[in-house]
Amino acid sequence: MTLFNVLGEHWKVLNEESIYAIDTFPVPVCDNYRIPRVKLYQGEQYRGYIASKKRYFFGLKLHLMVTQAGQPVELMLSPGSFFDGTGLYAFDFDLPEGSQVVGDKAYNNYAVEDMLDPAGIHLSPFRKKNSKRPVPPWVHYLQFHYRKMIETTGSLFSNLLPKKIHATSSLGFELKIMLFLLACSLNFLFKVAT
């Protein structure tokens, strides 16, 4: 078991309300004008789109699940063009019974919701207007409140990343991303200790 997994289990134990949030964050390998020269990754599957910034990037997506306090518990790396909703199938959802997982509109996947219900895990994404399973306004308010935690963790992770991650192989690049995320998780550990 890795140190990140040990810390993740520790955060799950401390998360008494069992509320989690899930989202993706881009990790660019290079700027768009350098794509023809990049050697770490090749192919259009690594070109993703950041809707909030309305721009494209070339690299990986970090799929992250955090506790209510923002501590990372599960993660996955994928090519930049990987759809967020498809990433739901890659998560373990090794969460306590009665857990609630909040996500944005990209995580509307009724099949995954139905698959998690028998395990006692409730996937609660923001609903689209034409949703077959609408939620009341008060649930939408709580979802919005809980989503702030993952945005904060994403910002903390982005602040730890340097402008450029130097790596000579794709495995080395991914290892460095994992180490920065481990550092982010350790920062939470030091905050709890003080």
> Over the stretch 101-152, which tens digit does the pLDDT of each residue have?
998 888 888 888 888 888 889 888 888 778 888 888 888 788 888 888 888 8
Q: Give me the pLDDT at residue 9, please.
A: 87
Long-range contact pairs involving 150-156 (C-beta distance under 8 Å, separation at least 24): 150/21, 150/22, 150/23, 150/64, 150/66, 150/70, 151/23, 152/70, 153/64, 153/66, 153/70, 153/71, 153/72, 153/184, 154/23, 154/25, 154/64, 156/70, 156/184, 156/187
Contacts of 145 (CB under 8 A, 6+ apart): none
Question: What is the H or E stretch that residue 33 is in?
Answer: none
DSSP category for residue 128: P
From first CA to last CA, the distance across the chain in angstroms is 26
CA–CA gap between residue 94 and residue 175 (Å, rounded):
23
Residue with tokens 């991914």: 174
φ, ψ for residue 133, nearest 5 deg: -125, 70
Q: Give me the pLDDT at residue 80, please.
A: 87
Range 3-193 classified under CATH 3.30.420:
yes
Cα radius of gyration rounded to whole Å, the chain? 17
**What three-state secondary structure class fits 169?**
coil
Rounded to the nearest integer, the mean pLDDT of the chain is: 85
Residue with tokens 């992770």: 157
Question: Residue 65 — very low, low, confident or very high, per pLDDT cuts 50/70/90?
Answer: very high
CA–CA gap between residue 172 and residue 60 (Å, rounded):
13
**What three-state secondary structure class fits 52?**
coil
Check residues 66 and 40 and name the one with the higher pLDDT: 66
Is pTM beyond 0.75 here?
A: yes
54 backbone φψ class: left, alpha, beta (φ>0; ψ -120 to 50): left
For the segment 82-90, the average pLDDT, to the nearest whole number, is 84
Give pLDDT tens digits for 169-189.
Answer: 889 899 999 988 888 888 887
